[in-house]
Amino acid sequence: MVGASILAILLTRKGVEMNIESLRDFCRELPAVTEDVKWGHDLCFSVAGKMFCVAALDGPLTVSFKVRDDEFDELSNSPGLRPAPYVARYKWVLVEDVDRLSRKEWSHYVKQSYDLVKAKLPKKVAREHGL
């Protein structure tokens, strides 16, 4: 839980804008998070090998993450957001305009995506990663 409180503090600091460096810092504050580049141009953040957040490294910053089933339709139809290509069936949204979400919303959705993915991990895998 320490990681979540640090994430909330980082996201509510004055002067923090959403960019690739900020997103990287926020995601890495969560327990057992790793990052790697997949498909040649996407920075992927994972917990125990399962992705929870993906950011495009080419062009303007776009970010995808998993949301709750009951949030998916509303979020994916909001201005600046849409269903994430290839993974929308798993309730992932793509934020095309990162300024559409407030710092508080970024904190909520990144942490929630992490929690949703972590909750699906087999117990043995979670234990092996100290979760």
pLDDT digit string (tens) for 29-82?
Answer: 999 999 999 988 899 999 999 999 999 988 889 999 999 999 999 999 999 999
Domain membership of residue 38 (yes or no) is yes
Strand order, beta sheet including 50-56: 33-38, 42-47, 50-56, 63-66, 92-95, 81-83
Range of the domain at 94: 2-123
**Number of domain units in the chain:** 1
Average pLDDT over residues 79-103: 92
Q: How confident is the model at residue 19 (pLDDT cuts 50, 70, 90)?
A: confident
Q: How confident is the model at residue 10 (pLDDT cuts 50, 70, 90)?
A: very low
Domain membership of residue 65 (yes or no) is yes
pLDDT of 126 above 90: no
CA–CA separation, 118 vs 131, rounded Å? 8
Q: Which residues contact 75 (CB under 8 A, 6 or more apart)?
A: 67, 81, 93
CATH of residue 22's domain is 3.90.1150.30
Q: How far apart are the two ends of the chain, measured CA to CA in Å? A: 10
The whole-model pTM stands at 0.82
User: What pLDDT score was predicted for residue 25?
Assistant: 86
Domain membership of residue 101 (yes or no) is yes
Residue type, 26: F
Domain membership of residue 130 (yes or no) is no
pLDDT of 84 above 70: yes
